[in-house]
Amino acid sequence: MAAKLAILAVLALLGSLSCQTTYGYGYGGGNPPPPPPSNPPTSRSPPTYPPSSPSTYPPTGPSPPTYPQAAPSPPAAGLRVGYYDDKCPRAEAIVRRAVRGADAGVKAGLVRMFFHDCFVRGCDASVLLKPTEANPQPEMLGIPNLSLRGFEVIDKAKAALEKKCPGIVSCTDILAFAGRDASYFLSSYAIDFKMPAGRYDGNVSLASETLPNLPPPFADVKQLKDMFAAKGLDTVDMVVLSGAHSIGRSHCSSFSGRLPPSNTSDMDPTLAAKLKGDCVSPNGADNTVMQDYKTPNELDNQYYLNVLNHKVLFASDAALLKATDTMRLVYAAAASQKLWQYKFGEAMVKMGGIEVKTAANGEIRKMCGFVNKAY
């Protein structure tokens, strides 16, 4: 019975493949969740839950979501795969070379930076703009963005592209390619998808817009769904993109409320005790810890096994078990790494189409940290 139910969960997620494009975000208690699928990925041990009756899964409530068998949606208007093939033929290779040279932590930062850029004013590289006299508080100084990493990789790629093809490749497309390439390297080349391009750079960047748009680490399921829906992303996209928490680091302040002596967290006690020790700082510094305790530098589906085992940092991670539809999607991703990898690529492309700028309301910056003209 459990095996059949796990297969149904996978099929529910598989059904969504046909309605998506072809191709970190980084910021709970109750009864133990239902037993894990009986066919987890062969490369990993199954979740270790207390035994319970198979009849508790699936939980009572609505049936798993069924997805329309529609044709894949095209890329956002104005975007296409191979956009620079005739404009700057080596553009994507130049970006990939810059990303390849970064360490794992910076690569994780590039995936997170792409997310943080697209969720504020759309994918327009507004997160890259530096403080100026005209705008002393750009996005990069917003509280959720203070720990972003990878700016130097974008600048390196931009400098190389300006020498090769001046004024052609937007900083926004560089960031989109970098997010894709970082995913490719961190997944040992398993997450491999084509990223449409043709975005222009925005010229407005406000720190005040970060908190209202970026999902916080304490978000519940409804808040997560609402914030993703506001960007044109559905529940599948939300759960799939949450898998980026398989890489990178987090400040202890983002999850300190889930550690002892708190009695409201469902975090695994052993992990909670370890994190409490790791977060102790004699000088009061906000320490950082790996988001995935098991495969910290691999972009894989270990995150979903961690969710099932209550071994995740954020309340927003634990919240995925609090709703029937998100719980089933977690099980599906945990049961099939290949499926999750494919869906992650699709979701990255879909996210890359949020509020795309054109020549009418954007520009191609000469330097990614500054607009071409003061505003």
Q: Which two tokens stand for residue 40?
A: 């987890």
Give CA–CA dist 240/75, Å, rounded.
19
Q: What is the pLDDT of residue 248?
A: 94
Strand partners, 288: 251
> Dihedral, CA atoms, 11, 36, 245, 266, nearest 10 degrees?
140
Q: Using CB atoms within 10 Å of the CB of residue 133, give its burial: 0 to 12 exposed, 13 to 18 middle, 19+ buried.
A: exposed
Q: Residue 159 phi/psi, 5° resolution? A: -60, -40
- Taking the whole predicted model, whether its pTM rises above 0.85 is answered as no
Where do the domains of the chain lie, and which CATH numbers do they carry? 2-73+218-349 (1.10.420.10), 91-212 (1.10.520.10)
Q: Which two tokens stand for residue 177?
A: 């390619």
Q: Are 180 and 350 in contact (CB under 8 A)?
A: no
195: nearest Cα among 287, 122, 91: 91
Q: What is the pLDDT of residue 75?
A: 65
Give CA–CA dist 51/57, Å, rounded.
12
Q: Please state, as a whole number, how many other Cβ atoms lie within 10 Å of the Cβ of residue 374.
A: 10
Q: What is the pLDDT of residue 78?
A: 85
Q: What is the pLDDT of residue 56?
A: 32
Please list the active-site residues: 116
Q: Residue 131 phi/psi, 5° resolution? A: -60, 140
Q: Residue 33 phi/psi, 5° resolution? A: -70, 170
pLDDT string in tens for the chain (375-residue length): 444 444 444 444 444 433 333 333 333 333 333 444 444 333 444 443 333 333 233 333 334 333 333 344 456 778 999 999 999 999 999 999 999 999 999 999 999 999 999 999 999 999 999 999 999 999 999 999 999 999 999 999 999 999 999 999 999 999 999 999 999 999 999 999 999 999 999 999 999 999 999 999 999 999 999 999 999 999 999 999 999 999 999 999 999 999 988 767 899 999 999 999 999 988 889 999 999 999 999 999 999 999 999 999 999 999 999 999 999 999 999 999 999 999 999 999 999 999 999 999 999 999 999 999 754
350: nearest Cα among 115, 69, 150: 115
Q: Are 202 and 123 in contact (CB under 8 A)?
A: no
Kind and range of the H or E element at 250?
strand 249-251
Q: What is the pLDDT of residue 264?
A: 78
